[in-house]
Structure 1
Amino acid sequence: MEKYTHLGVYGVLIQDDHILLIQKARGPHKGKWDLPGGSIEFGEEPEFTLKREFMEETGLSPIKGSIRTAISYTIVYQYAENQMEELHHIGIIYDVELPDDQAVIKAEGDGQDSLGARWVPLESLSLLPLTPFVEMMMESVLIEEAEGEA
């Protein structure tokens, strides 16, 4: 079995009790809902990766990001018909602000990793198939949102 490490940058963007997610087009989480983001290209600063990936997957620009945390998980999945793969996925997670709160998201896919972006009500997150990064962030995000309303 092949083993790989993947480092990516992802953003948590919440507005009006909705979180911005993209639906995965490929990989071990195909069809699941994920945070916008992706791979750091060679020589690229993580914050630039965040801005580039947000533009590609959601159409939103400009954005502001501040590092929230770094998390990881491992998953074994069927990469090809006769090939299993073990992936160690590391994510640098940013809190994202959108200066233009009237900006329109790109609902169609990017032709690569995303089938499209969508604003998902926070109370509906548990009803959707989610990637591990969204699941890991969901509890703290919901707690923060509840505290913000109190």
Structure 2
Amino acid sequence: MVKHTHLGVYGVLIQHDHILLIQKARGPHKGKWDLPGGSIEFGEEPEHTLQREFIEETGLSPIKGSIRTAISYTIVYQYEANQIEELHHIGIMYDVELLNDKAVIKTDGDGQDSLGAKWIPLESLGLLPLTPFVEMMMEPVLKGETSKEAEVEG
């Protein structure tokens, strides 16, 4: 089995009780809803990765990000017809603020990793197939906790 570590930067953007997610076009989570973000290119600052990935996957700019946490998980999946891969996925998570309230999201995908971006009502998150990063970052919402309860526990 091939083992692979992936480091990425991802953003949590919530407005008006909706979260901005992208639908994965490939990889172990194909078809699931994920946070906008992706791989840090060689020599790239994480903040620049966040800005670049948001433009590529959602079309939104400018944004402001502040680091919330770093999390990870492992998953075993079929990479190719005859190859099983174990992925250790590490994510640097940012809280994101949209600086242009007139910006329109890109719903047609980026031709690579995203099938398109969509504003998802927080109340319907539990009905969708989600990636582990969305599940981890939105755990209080998925458990039905209110914002006040989540803030008290956090």
TM-score of Structure 1 vs Structure 2, range by shorter chain: over 0.9
In structure 2, the gaps of 5 or more residues are 150-154
For residue 17 of structure 2, what is the aligned residue in structure 1? 17
TM-score normalized by the length of structure 1 = 0.95
Distance in 2 of aligned mates of 1:62 and 1:73: 30
Separation (CA, whole Å) in 1 of partners of 2:146 and 2:114: 26
Paired with 1:70 and 1:140, the residues of 2 have a C-alpha distance of 17
Match of 2:56 in 1: 56
What SS class does the counterpart of residue 101 from structure 2 fall into?
coil
- CA RMSD in angstroms, aligned pairs only: 1.5
Partner of 1:132: 132
Offset at residue 139 of structure 1 (A): 1.9
Separation in structure 1 between the aligned mates of residue 3 and residue 76 of structure 2, nearest angstrom: 9
1:103-118 counterparts in 2 under 5 A? 103-118=103-118
In the alignment, the residues of structure 2 paired with residue 115 and residue 61 of structure 1 have an alpha-carbon distance, to the nearest angstrom, of 19
Distance 1:11 1:144 in 2: 21
1:84-123 to 2 correspondence within 5 Å? 84-123=84-123
How far has the Cα of 1:120 moved from its partner?
A: 0.1
Q: For residues 22-81 of structure 1, what are the alpha-carbon distances to aligned partners after superposition, in whole Å with 9 as ceiling and x for unaligned?
A: 000000000000000000000000000000000000000110000000000000000011
Corresponding residue for residue 44 of structure 1? 44
Shift, 1:146, TM fit: 2.0
Q: Confirm or deny that 1:146 pairs with 2:147.
A: yes
User: In 1, Cα distance between the equivalents of 2:145 and 2:62?
Assistant: 24
Flag as ranges the 4+ runs of structure 1 deviating above 6 A.
142-145
Aligned-partner Cα distance in 2 for 1:60–1:26: 22
For structure 1, the 5+ residue unaligned runs are: none
CA distance in 2, matches of 1:29, 1:4: 15
Residue-pair matches, total? 148
Structure 2: distance between partners of 1:80 and 1:62: 37
Q: Secondary structure at the match of 2:138?
A: helix
Whether contact under 8 Å (1:17, 1:145) holds in the other structure is no
Structure 2 distance, partners of 1:144, 1:105, is 28
Task: Give, in angstroms, the shift of residue 147 of structure 1.
Answer: 2.0
TM-score (norm 2): 0.92
Contact 1:77 1:84 in 2 (8 A): yes
**What CA distance in whole angstroms lies between the structure 1 residues aligned with 2:48 and 2:146?**
27
